[in-house]
Structure 1
Amino acid sequence: MTDDSKAGAARFSRRGLLAAFAATTVAAAPVHAGVFGFLRGAGDVRRIKMYSGRTGESIDMIYWVDGRYVKPALKEINHFMRDWRENKATKIDTRTIDIMAASHTLLNVDEPYLLLSGYRTPRTNAMLRKGTRGVAKKSLHMSGQAADLRLKSRSVSQMSKAAQSVSAGGVGRYYRSNFVHMDSGPIRTWNG
């Protein structure tokens, strides 16, 4: 085998392996300008790790390889972040996934996020508004642009500081409920 054919085989193997891995796992990296800097050293692969206590499901997935989103991985993320109450999914904004991934990278943890809430149907959002303080009438959860997340090994303060450092969307701190809201809307912060 010549040096050129060895290099070609190595490229094919690496891409093939990453594509296969991406189809069974999920990863993320930010689309906003401020977020790119946090992932630059990560190479050309983006990854997200989450689990759901509600459904018992988990994902650990590469969703970006060589400058492109991996469509099967994004579909898996959409399904994972579905409204579990109604078993309905929507297209999750890739900027939201990227914000979550960049924040996770900044926190330097291997632990997956606990996803408390991803996509919500308007009906689920209305039901939560009736019984829960702090649920917005026009929540970005209903457009697939928000996630409520928790880490056992990091505090709400640590998680929110990491998300704010990304400078790419909204960050809500919910100390009493022990979670952080991250979204791809306008840059803003609040306490819930």
Structure 2
Amino acid sequence: MAKTNGSGLTRRALLGAFAATAVAATPTYSKAAGFLRGGGDIRRLRMYSGRTGEKLDMIYWIDGDYIKDAVKEINHFMRDWRVDQVKSIDLRTLDIMAASHNLLDVSEPYMLLSGYRSPQTNAMLRSRSRGVAKNSLHMQGQAADLRLGSRSVNQMAKAAMACHAGGVGRYSRSNFVHMDCGVVRSWGA
């Protein structure tokens, strides 16, 4: 005979109901973007710019919500400093950057080499280097070029590629990694 708890439910029925609730309440990430792995409950970006001398240490996402003012500060930090133009950086790019940084397990901030680029800046850089794309995702606010002193280009690229969320370019000669939220692909050496 099964024991009841006074409400007429057996222990087995209670455990079954609890298990069903726990399974139903467990979030599924089967369709979530891969870059959320390693993102955590708090997403933070730490960067500095050798060009402007600015530093940023910003929590921009907590428990599923982006913090509007924090994202606005990140957009300003990642502006095209050459022409002082700000564009909203795609949140997916920020998430890829944060998740990659977490996977690398470093406290060192990224050195931001390039975030948003105006069409004028992109054209100027393209005239100086064949490595700059004509329709660069930097002009859409969807890409960042980053460096870490304590990690190699290959280590950074592997972390970004582990996110399975966008493009990853290795620029070993220039010692930086390109991360974007475009089509999943990789290039460079």
**For the superposition of Structure 1 and Structure 2, which TM-score range results when normalised by the shorter chain?**
0.7 to 0.9
Deviation string 1:91-120 (CA, Å, 9 cap, x unpaired) is 000000000000000000000000000000
**Where does residue 6 of structure 1 map in the other structure?**
none
Shift of 1:35: 1.5
**Where does residue 37 of structure 1 map in the other structure?**
37
Q: 1:146 aligns with which of 136, 143, 147?
A: 143
Is 1:118 the counterpart of 2:128? The answer is: no
Amino acid at match of 1:83: D
**Where does residue 10 of structure 2 map in the other structure?**
none
Q: 1:50 aligns with which of 47, 52, 61?
A: 47
Q: Distance in 1 between matches of 2:96 and 2:188?
A: 19
Structure 2 residue runs of 5 or longer lacking an equivalent are 1-31
SS at match of 1:38: coil
Q: Distance in 2 between matches of 1:37 and 1:155?
A: 21
SS at match of 1:173: strand
Q: Distance in 2 between matches of 1:136 and 1:190?
A: 13
Structure 1 residue runs of 5 or longer lacking an equivalent are 1-31
Q: Distance in 1 between matches of 2:134 and 2:36?
A: 31
Deviation string 1:39-98 (CA, Å, 9 cap, x unpaired) is 2xx3x2110100000000010000001210000000000000000000001000000000
**Where does residue 131 of structure 2 map in the other structure?**
134
Alignment RMSD, CA only?
A: 0.9
**Where does residue 178 of structure 2 map in the other structure?**
181
- Normalising by structure 2, we get a TM-score of 0.82
Q: 4+ residue runs of structure 1 moved beyond 4 angstroms?
A: none
Q: For 1:1-192, list aligned pairs within 5 A.
A: 33-39=33-39, 42=40, 44-191=41-188
Q: Distance in 1 between matches of 2:161 and 2:72?
A: 27
- Between Structure 1 and Structure 2, the one with more helix by share is 1
Q: Distance in 2 between matches of 1:36 and 1:125?
A: 30
Q: Distance in 2 between matches of 1:133 and 1:110?
A: 33
Q: Distance in 2 between matches of 1:37 and 1:78?
A: 23
Q: Distance in 1 between matches of 2:36 and 2:156?
A: 18
The sequence identity of aligned pairs, in percent, is 68
Equivalent pairs, count: 158
Q: Distance in 2 between matches of 1:133 and 1:178?
A: 16
- Normalising by structure 1, we get a TM-score of 0.81
